[in-house]
Each structure stands twice: as structure tokens, then as C-alpha cells.
Amino acid sequence: MELAEHEANLLRQASAAALRAYCPYSGFAVGAAAATELGVFVGANVENASFGLTLCAERVALANAITAGAIKISLLAVAGPPDQPTGLRSPCGACRQVMVELMTPDAVLIQDNNERLPVAGLLPGAFRRPAAAAVEGI
């Protein structure tokens, strides 16, 4: 499917961010770009010798947006570096959980095979912050 110009641009920014991935263990670079009311924030995967500490590109981009003060994160593009095969990168389950919480209800994921997917459908049954009343037992 054809992407809108701003969506294609976001994908290019994600792809450029993938060039800054730190992935000496997997060699699998991922870039992400989040569109917000404050502009675009990017991220790349950052691995660690203690493998479980690896940060995914998606969560790095979302954390960058949140810490800059963004509250409306409406699009997230995910891509590999330019000139690499497309269609191989898709947010993991942990990233989907974080996307559902931090992005707007109508948010869209843009993948580098030009697919647009509603974030609301990415994780059926996602855990949600319990209402205060439920936590306090009132």
C-alpha cells in the first residue's frame, strides 16, 4: 500500500536511526522514529554483553519522545538500515505493550514493507494500568 509523504519520511528517519544501532552481538540493526506534537524522536537498538539488558529501538524512540515532554505520540515507524531487505522488522511483544500504553488510541505502526497497522490491534488483551479504585479496593 502507498504511504503518505509524512509516513514515508518517518520511515526514512527510522532507517537512518538504524545506522546508529549498537548491535555487536546480533548484527541486527533496528531503527524507530516516533511522530509527536513536538516533532520526531528516533531510537535504535542498544545491546549489552548481559543480553537481557538489550534495549529495542521502539522503546528507545518512545522513551526519547516521553522524556522530551511529548504527550501525543501518533505514529511509530520501524525500519532496518537503508539498502537492507525490508519486511524483517516488527515490534516484539514487550514493545507492543509499551506502545499500547504510551501512544494515542488511534496510533499507527508503519513497517518498512510499507504496512500500516493500528497500534490498538497489536496486542489483544494488553495489560492496562489498573484504575485507582481497583488498586485501593474501594
Q: How far is the CB of 96 from ligand THU (least distance, A)?
A: 8
Looking at the Cβ atoms of 4 and 92, the one nearer to ligand THU is 92
Looking at the Cβ atoms of 98 and 134, the one nearer to ligand THU is 98
- Binding span for ligand THU by CB under 6 A among 11-19, 52-60, 65-73, 122-130: 52-60
Helical packing angle, 5-18 and 57-67, nearest 10°: 110
Site string for ligand THU, 92-121 (x = CB under 6 A): x--x--------------------------
Question: Catalytic: 101?
Answer: no
- Residue 105 CA to residue 80 CA, distance in Å, equals 26
- Residue 124 CA to residue 115 CA, distance in Å, equals 19
Do the strands 73-79 and 31-36 form a parallel or antiparallel pair, or are they unpaired?
antiparallel
Looking at the Cβ atoms of 51 and 127, the one nearer to ligand THU is 51
Residue that is written with C-alpha cell 535504535 in the block: 44
Q: How far is the CB of 33 from ligand THU (least distance, A)?
A: 13
Q: CB within 8 A of 17, min separation 6: which ones? A: 31, 32, 33, 42, 43, 44, 57, 61
Q: Binding residues for ligand THU, per CB under 6 A? A: 23, 26, 28, 30, 45, 47, 54, 56-58, 91-92, 95
